[in-house]
Amino acid sequence: MFGGDDDDDFTPGSSSKLASLFGAGKSSQEGNTSLTYTAPKQPKKGQLESQSVKGQAVGQVGGPTVSSRAKLSIITVKAVHAYKLADGNYNAQGKLGAAVLGNAVSRVYQLLLYKGKQQHITSACISPSFQFVVQANNYATFYDDQMQNWSVMFESSGDATEFAKEVGLARSNALGEQGDHNFMTQDLLFGVGSTATEGDIVDVWYIVFPLTAGKLGGGEHHRLREAAESEAEEGELGGGAGWSGKGLQAHDNIATSPCGPMEG
């Protein structure tokens, strides 16, 4: 359905094409570790602004800020089939590239949808409160900086899980050590079959990764059995895990301090 040239735009190896979208020069082709992304001006007043990373702060209301010369690097890129909500219906927007961009020093992160070499479709600041809602069949939904709702379908469960994991890590890294950062969760993979209800006993496999300078280290595997609880209650993994309502084989990314993220 899609030619090889289209697929090349959405793979990590196509970073030279993606670089043109961020205004990067020849230096970006030698690893693309510091691509500069300049967001477009917003069309209407009263909408959340996605400001220029090169010129101004980037973020939602109350979000992080960054110096005028901070640059966002490509963290992950995946191909998606995108749908834009309008008049109560999701309208197909075709095959797009979805990228997570970030700067660990400034703690600024963004989700970008793009097409081809230079066409920016939309972007969303990934703040600690950013909601990336994982759904069945490799779908996920989110709101961009203009509060426009999007639905994206990844081409495999592996792509969907990896992308959601990077979004979750970006949310955690964006918060840093501010406030009472004890617990943050991000769904990675939608469960199957019947869901757990309060009082059910569930088996949970989880991997503990140390998180250093925004990067995951080696993981240690663990297993526990506990009662399904709501997010308001506290289980062995800490308050907010919320196994109630999860289906079989559901995956979550749980960032907690000081142990780092737990992937289960």
Tens digits of residue pLDDT in 187-224: 887 666 566 667 666 666 555 555 565 565 554 444 44
By the 8 A CB rule, do 96 and 121 touch?
Answer: yes
* Number of domains present in the structure of the chain: 2
Give the Cα separation of 259 and 232 in Å (integer): 21
Instruction: Please check whether residues 205 and 229 belong to one and the same domain.
Output: yes
15-54: b (≥16 Cβ within 10 Å) or e? bebbbebbebeeebeeebeebbbebeeeeeeeebbbbbbb
Question: pLDDT tens digit string along 143-188?
Answer: 999 999 999 999 999 999 999 999 988 998 888 766 555 567 778 8
Instruction: Please check whether residues 22 and 39 belong to one and the same domain.
Output: yes
Q: Would you give the end-to-end CA distance of the chain in angstroms?
A: 35
pTM: 0.61
Tell me which of 142, 175, 208 is where a domain ends: 175
- In the predicted structure, residue 53 carries a pLDDT above the cut 60: no
Of 17 and 2, more confident: 17
Domain that holds residue 50: 4-175
Instruction: Please check whether residues 190 and 160 belong to one and the same domain.
Output: no
The owner of tokens 């900086």 is 145
Residue 176 confidence (pLDDT): 72
Give the CATH number of the domain where residue 61 resides: 2.30.29.30
Show the tokens assigned to 207: 């991997």
Question: pLDDT tens digit string along 64-79?
Answer: 444 434 689 999 999 9
Tell me which of 120, 155, 175 is where a domain ends: 175
Give the Cα separation of 256 and 94 in Å (integer): 37
Instruction: Please check whether residues 130 and 206 belong to one and the same domain.
Output: no
Cα dihedral 165, 171, 176, 181, rounded to 10, equals -90
Residue 216 confidence (pLDDT): 56
